[in-house]
Structure formats: structure tokens, C-alpha cells
A and B are shown apart, each in its own frame.
Chain A
Amino acid sequence: MNSIAASEIKTLKVSIYRYDPLKKEKPYMQDFDIDIPAEKDLMVLDVLMLAKEEDPSISFRRSCREGVCGSDGLNINGKNGLGCITPLSDAVKSNKLAIRPLPGLPVIKDLTVDMKQFVDQYKKVKPYLITDKKVDTKQAIPQTIQEREKLDGLYECIMCGCCSTACPSFWWNPDKFLGPAALLQAYRFIADSRDTATDERLEQLEDAFSVFRCHGIMNCVSVCPKGLNPTKAIGEIKKMLVKRAL
């Protein structure tokens, strides 16, 4: 930052959620004045890394810094998103930026949340191809372009958790309602022409909670950083379940 002339710098007010469960203090918001180049539209992750240079004890996850690994799901000025692909021009309101952990999950430290519940729900939907054939290392299972297109909008999920932690139904019943991310994954395999376990998968989702706690609030759709539509996938599952029950 030293080489930038003062006129090209602006100061951003950044407020970061701090919490260390081993210390006997309540969570609090710590304020930073971060100097940023005026011309460049930095990402929220860039700002977090600048803040960490001032205070190395801030804890958060990051890896690819290009929106594909799903590490840095955060609550940014009240909305869930990925730090690395949320530009300040979208996020900052009145020169203020508040960064909190994803809501609804236990906080390990600062912005780092415990994803166990989220991953457990993912594992429940058997997120892998089930076929009645043995793995064949000599050829691919045939699939038409049209059949493959049904997976578009489903397979791209990066498991960042932005959707499920924005979902009120997941907040109330995180153990029983699978949440949008896991359900999107469930439908990704139901929709795959190569998968032969549709019946088994639907049967597992039939109870009153797993799927039917989705009330179509669509927070998941509005926050998904990959532009995916879990509500639609859940709607498809619901349709199949209803059809099955008739």
C-alpha cells in the first residue's frame, strides 16, 4: 500500500465479528479502518486479508479466491455470499462493511463456523452415483446430450453453505430438514440418467421434514454464488414424491 499516493486511497470502515469460545468474553464486532485503492474494485476477501495483516488473529477460511472452492461463505452486510467474488461495489453500503460468520451454525472462531451439520446432511442423501451395474473400466455409461443437460444447474454446487444457512427452515430444523444444498445434491443424482436408485432415494425423502419443510422462501436462490436454484430442484423432488404417493 505504501507506494500508492494518498489521493488514490480511500478508507473503508470494516466491522468484523470476533469470537473465541475459549476466552470468557461475548462475541463482539471489531472495527478496522482499511486503506484501499480507490480505482480498484477489491473483493471482500481482499479486505479481510488486509485486516488480517493488521490483526493476524482474525480467523477465516479461504483457498481458491476465485469462487470455485466454497471456503469463504460469509455473511456480508447481512447477505450470505463468497468473500472472494463479492466486489466492494456490490457489498459496501454508506462506506460500511460488516462481515459476520454464516448464520445458524456454531462458531469455532470469528468467521469460521462448524460445518459438520451441513456436511452430515449432505452425506445423508447418498451423494454418489448408484447403479445396478458394476464399475466398467472399459467404457463410459452412455448418456445423451439432452440427458446430460438435466444436470446443468445441479452438479456445479461448491458446498459453500450460503444457501442452507440463509434458510429459515434449516435454522429451525437443521437435524431433520436436509436443507437446500443437500436437496440440490439429492436431485442431482435423481436427475442423472445413469443412476438407478431413484425409488430408494425418494423413499428416503418421504417423511414430513426432509424435503417438505421447504416452504419456497427462496433465500437459497437469492444468495447462491453460483446462480443455482435449489428451490426448483426441491420442487421437482416434491412433484415426484406426490406422484409416487398417488
Chain B
Amino acid sequence: MAMNGTGTLLDASTLPVKEFDGIIVGGGGSGMMASLQLAKSGMTTAVVSKVFPTRSHTVSAQGGITCSIQSADPDDDWRWHMFDTVKGSDFIGDQDSIEYMCKEGPEAIFELENMGLPFSRTEEGKIYQRAFGGQSKDYGKGGQAERTCAAADRTGHALLHTLFQANVKAGTNFLSEWFAVDLVKNQNDQVVGVIAFEIETGEPYFLKSKATVLATGGAGRIYQTTSNALINTGDGTGMALRAGFPVQDMEMWQFHPTGIHGHGTLVTEGCRGEGGYLVNKDGERFMERYAPNYKDLASRDVVARSMFTEILEGRGCGPDADHVYLKLDHLGPEIVHKRLPGVTELSKRFAHVDPSEHPIPVVPTCHYAMGGIPTNVHGQVISQNPDGTDKIIDGLYAAGEAACVSVHGGNRLGGNSLLDLIVFGRSAGLHIEESFKSGIKMDDPSSDDINYALRNLNRVNVSQSGENFVKVKKDLQKTMQMNFGVFRTEELMVNGIKEVSDLREKSQNIHLADKSSQFNTARVEALELLNLIEVAEATAISANERKESRGAHSREDYPERDDDNWLKHSIYFSENKQVSKRDVNFRPKQVQAFQPIVRTY
């Protein structure tokens, strides 16, 4: 038996192997949607999750799932939702993927409702839908739409628990509290599984499979202030980069307008959907100036920039003038407590105010990675050939926030992340099922292949001295916050790239002092740092390379959108730290493509 990491080198020859038809890394919304599909098809499946599945960050989603189910408006049309999403993406969302998501969405929503998801209801007994940012009727010409399906303001919790329950019913095999370290590739560049260890015992394994799905969620913890859970460390993204696969549009990070000041925890955009609005220190509803039509329900990038502009120009609230207020008190306690019970709870806890009586102090907080591991609509991971054409990676899939399919492009609309999870988690599952039916052949990895994937675990396990990984992580978060925030300039970014590069050097030499095997969370945190570094460096280099302002990427030195040069995805490889371009898909199947227009709200 292999040693469980108490200072001895692990080796392929003694490493225990467990084999499954499909391995899903991550037990959030997309992972459990994929696993449900596979479990129902009778394939042997394992969900490898570093936390018990209901602890995944999907649980924190509040406002809802945007989808044209024609409940609030019987004339609603998925094509309108598609238009909004393309416009929201600032035209670098792939239109084949957006079309697929908006069109297939209703089926996935009804399936979840039928599985028991406790959606809020309308007077007619249908699923309740609320207004969210960037939503329109009739391709932007018919005013604000109400398209976000909600379970009060706990939609993510309701969704995640329903999916967990459905997986319990389907008999899904959970490797709960297992940490996946690295992908295992064979000599043909095919992915044949992962190296993972059981956190409770420290026991490492080679989990072998012909289909590995990275559903590891976001990486907001590269920033100091984030809405993201402590577990959102970009593990799948890090694994993909280390295995030599690229990431796409990593410069595109969404800063959510309404993070609770001083903490980063979110209050949902649904607050503004229910009639709340932002005010500056003069009590002015300032969004009327920046977005005369949509006001507080303009797209998130627009609102976040407007808030920072107010603060930078001296109209912020509080003694340090470093935040603005979200006003809900005019809605009355009935609406606030009934429709926004979770927000009431969070703001009492973290801002010490009852939102039905006082405004909530808010400031934009890092929330969501639009970028990630590039995939097609089936969740298959895509790399790039030297001539710039796409290359499908056998055996590897990605879904959810870890992936970039890309439905969000430069800016995600509120309520579209949960839809992305369920639609593309399912489509990955469906594709794996089909592939198995038609037969998959893959060569086994060699001992060298496995040992290569063990290198990081080994390095950390035998480290005798070196850097303090908690300090390296803190320094990384600080430099990302300072240099790659809402407003960016070359000067700051070049400085940031250098600092991140120095921190990468340090991360190669971290010291794990505690080598114990039993539920050693320090080991997990040390390995998470390696993933944070990969994601941060990809973000830093891609951000400096994209010399324009588009979506969430806003440069003071290049303030305009540049469609001639940058109506493109950025593609980044960790090995050579180079950024190349990839065409955006303008070939939807059933509608005419939406061409870029000036984006105003």
C-alpha cells in the first residue's frame, strides 16, 4: 500500500487504483446534474468532492435561475433571453452555446421542479419569476422583463439540496471529502482520471476513468474581497492548466455590485429586482444618470463601475466614503421579509441593519469568473492546435463556473449561472452516456504518466522547509485586489504580473509542517494555493493582453471596445504564458446571429 503522505514519496507502482466509468470532480450544481444523468444511465460514477456536496458554493446563490418559462409573461420568448445574454456578454459569448442554453433551459427547470425544487409560486400556481438586471422583452425594445425563477432568495440552496436528494434517490456514489490533486494523462494526450486523496485518512488513489468532468466551480479566492466561499480556489482550472490545457477569457471577472461592505457577502440582485435601488451620500438615486432606461437593473458590470465612480468622485457613504447604500426600506416589511428573508438575515448578521428599516451599506465584490476551461456545448474540453483551430481533448469535460462554454462572454447576467450549471451539467452527462454507448478506447497511462501527476502531492508531502503558504496566499489576494480590480491600467497590471510571478516562485517551495494524515486541512490548503496561483497568473497575463474595454474588463488606458481586434476570446496556456485569440461563435442554429451593437442600458 502507498504511504499516506507522511513524508514518504508516493509512487505509481504502489498507488491503489479505483476505476469508474465516469468521474465528476465537484459536487455543486453542475457536477450533481452530470452525475444524476450518469447514475440514471446505469454507469458507475463517482462524485469526488472536497466537501460534503451540500456545502458546495451553489448553495449560496440567492436570486434565481433566469429562464423563459413563460410564467410571469405567457408571451416571453427564449430568443429574447438569448438576445439579452449576447448583449450582456458584450458580444463575446458564443452564440451556439447561448442559443442551446436559452432554448433547452425550460426543460431543465421543469425537470428540477418535478424533482421537488420548492420554487415560490404565482397566484395561478406557477413558478414565480422576478425581474433581474439586463433583462428585456422583444430584443431590448419592450422594457424590463421578469424572467428569473426563484425560491424566495434561497434558490441555490433549494437547487443544490434538490439535486443532492435526487442523487441519493438515484444511488450516486459520492467520494465525499476527497481532494483531487491533478489530472492523469496518457501518452496520447487523453485524460484517464485523477490523482485524489481521501481527506479523512490522507490515503491517496489513482481514480481511473474514461470520462473526467471538472465541475469544480469558481476561484474568487484569488481576490481579497469576494462573495465566494472559502473553498472556491479554482481547483479544476489549476489542474487543467498544469496538464497543459488552456483557459479562456480569464481576464473577465464579475464584480457583483451589492457585496456587504466590510465582509464581501452578497445580497442578491433580486433586491433591486423587487424594487430596491442604490443611493450615494446625498441620497441621490445615481443609477438614473448612468443607465437612464434600466437604472439599477442595468447589467452588473455597468452598475459596479457606476458605484466605484461615485465613490472615487467623493460621493460615497460612511465615515470613509467608501461604499454606497442599497435602499429597501421603502418596500415595506411585508415584501422585504417575505421575498427576501435570506437577505434580511445576512444584512442583520453582517451589516447590523434590518433592511426593512435602514439601507444596507454595499460595495462591489469579486463574484464570478466568466472565463474558464473552454468547452463545446457537450462539455468537451477544447484545446488549440498550433494553427489556431480547435482540438477536442479526449476524456475530459468541464461544466459550470470552472468551464467557459462560453455563455457569459465578458459579463454574466444575473440568474444565468444557475441555468448554465444545470443545462451544461446535463449536456456533459448526456454526451458521456452517448460516448459510452458507441464505445471508448483509451490506452492506460504509464507509471511515468501517473508519477508526473503525483509530483505536486509528493513535493508538498516531503517539504522540509520553505515558504508559509498562508502568507503566499494572502500576498496573492492582495496583489490581485490592488492591480486587477474593476478599473485596470497597464502600469498596475505589469506590476501585478511581476508580483504574481514572484509568488509563483514561492509557491513552488511551500512548506507543509504538519504531515499528519487524519483530516489534515493544512495539506488541502497548501495544494489549493497551487491552483489559486495558476488562476491568478492566467488572469493577470490575459488582462494585460486584452487591450480594450469590454464587459467586466475595463481599462483606463484603452477605454473603448475594439471590435476590429478583440471581438475574440483570449486563450492562455500556462506552459509558455502566451495569450492567443480564438474566434467567437456567431453561428446559432435556429436564429440569425446577433451582431455587435453599442451596449447601453
The minimal Cβ–Cβ distance linking B171 to chain A, given in whole angstroms, is 11
The minimal Cβ–Cβ distance linking B228 to chain A, given in whole angstroms, is 9
Quick check: A68 and B121 within 8 Å, CB to CB? Answer: no
Quick check: B107 and A61 within 8 Å, CB to CB? Answer: no
Known contacts A57-B522, A64-B59, A67-B345: A115-B52 contact under CB 8 Å: yes
User: Chain B interface: which of A155-163, A172-180, A210-218?
Assistant: A155-163
The minimal Cβ–Cβ distance linking B322 to chain A, given in whole angstroms, is 15
Complex contacts, A145 vs chain B, CB 8 Å = 121-123, 125
Complex contacts, A140 vs chain B, CB 8 Å = 69, 71, 109-110, 113-114, 119, 126-127
Contact with A along B497-534 (1 / 0, CB 8 A): 00000000000000001101111111001000000000
A200 interface residue, CB < 8 Å from B? no
Within 8 A of A (CB), among B256-276: 265
Quick check: B123 and A108 within 8 Å, CB to CB? Answer: no
Quick check: B114 and A69 within 8 Å, CB to CB? Answer: no
Quick check: B54 and A69 within 8 Å, CB to CB? Answer: yes
| Number of B interface residues in the complex (CB < 8 A) | 58
A109 interface residue, CB < 8 Å from B? yes
Complex contacts, A20 vs chain B, CB 8 Å = 516, 518
B252 interface residue, CB < 8 Å from A? no
Complex contacts, B120 vs chain A, CB 8 Å = 148
Within 8 A of B (CB), among A168-192: 189, 192
A22 interface residue, CB < 8 Å from B? yes
Quick check: A128 and B166 within 8 Å, CB to CB? Answer: yes
The minimal Cβ–Cβ distance linking B266 to chain A, given in whole angstroms, is 8
Within 8 A of A (CB), among B52-74: 52, 54-57, 59-60, 69, 71
Complex contacts, B59 vs chain A, CB 8 Å = 64, 68-69, 158
B349 interface residue, CB < 8 Å from A? yes
Known contacts A22-B518, A135-B115, A137-B114: A64-B229 contact under CB 8 Å: yes
In the bound complex, what is the Cα–Cα distance between A136 and B110 (angstroms)?
A: 7
Quick check: B51 and A56 within 8 Å, CB to CB? Answer: no
The minimal Cβ–Cβ distance linking B197 to chain A, given in whole angstroms, is 15
B7 interface residue, CB < 8 Å from A? no
In the bound complex, what is the Cα–Cα distance between A155 and B107 (angstroms)?
A: 23
B594 interface residue, CB < 8 Å from A? no
The minimal Cβ–Cβ distance linking B207 to chain A, given in whole angstroms, is 21
In the bound complex, what is the Cα–Cα distance between A66 and B230 (angstroms)?
A: 10
Within 8 A of B (CB), among A45-61: 53, 56-57, 59-61
The minimal Cβ–Cβ distance linking A146 to chain B, given in whole angstroms, is 9
| Number of A interface residues in the complex (CB < 8 A) | 55
Quick check: B520 and A69 within 8 Å, CB to CB? Answer: no
Which residue of A is nearest B115, CB measured?
A129
A63, A135, A143, A192: the one within 8 Å of B111 (CB): A135
In the bound complex, what is the Cα–Cα distance between A143 and B71 (angstroms)?
A: 13
B154 interface residue, CB < 8 Å from A? yes
Quick check: A159 and B111 within 8 Å, CB to CB? Answer: no
B559 interface residue, CB < 8 Å from A? no
B186 interface residue, CB < 8 Å from A? no
Quick check: A155 and B522 within 8 Å, CB to CB? Answer: no
The minimal Cβ–Cβ distance linking B191 to chain A, given in whole angstroms, is 27
B157 interface residue, CB < 8 Å from A? yes
Please indicate which of the listed interface residues B55, B69, B122, B200 has the most CB atoms of chain A within 10 Å of its own CB: B55
Complex contacts, A57 vs chain B, CB 8 Å = 513-514, 516, 520, 522
A85 interface residue, CB < 8 Å from B? yes
Complex contacts, A22 vs chain B, CB 8 Å = 516-518
In the bound complex, what is the Cα–Cα distance between A70 and B52 (angstroms)?
A: 10
In the bound complex, what is the Cα–Cα distance between A66 and B118 (angstroms)?
A: 22
Quick check: A66 and B518 within 8 Å, CB to CB? Answer: no
In the bound complex, what is the Cα–Cα distance between A36 and B342 (angstroms)?
A: 28
B350 interface residue, CB < 8 Å from A? yes
Quick check: A85 and B349 within 8 Å, CB to CB? Answer: yes
Known contacts A128-B116, A140-B127, A142-B125: A64-B516 contact under CB 8 Å: no
Interface residues of B, Cβ cutoff 8 Å to A: 51-52, 54-57, 59-60, 69, 71, 107-111, 113-116, 118-123, 125-127, 151, 154, 157-158, 161, 165-166, 168-169, 200, 229-231, 265, 342, 345-346, 349-350, 470, 513-514, 516-522, 525
Residue contacts A-B, CB under 8 angstroms, 17 given: A57-B513, A59-B518, A61-B521, A63-B55, A63-B230, A64-B229, A69-B60, A71-B51, A127-B165, A127-B168, A129-B116, A145-B121, A145-B122, A147-B125, A148-B121, A189-B116, A192-B116
| 4 smallest beta-carbon distances between A and B, as pairs | A129-B116, A142-B125, A128-B165, A57-B514
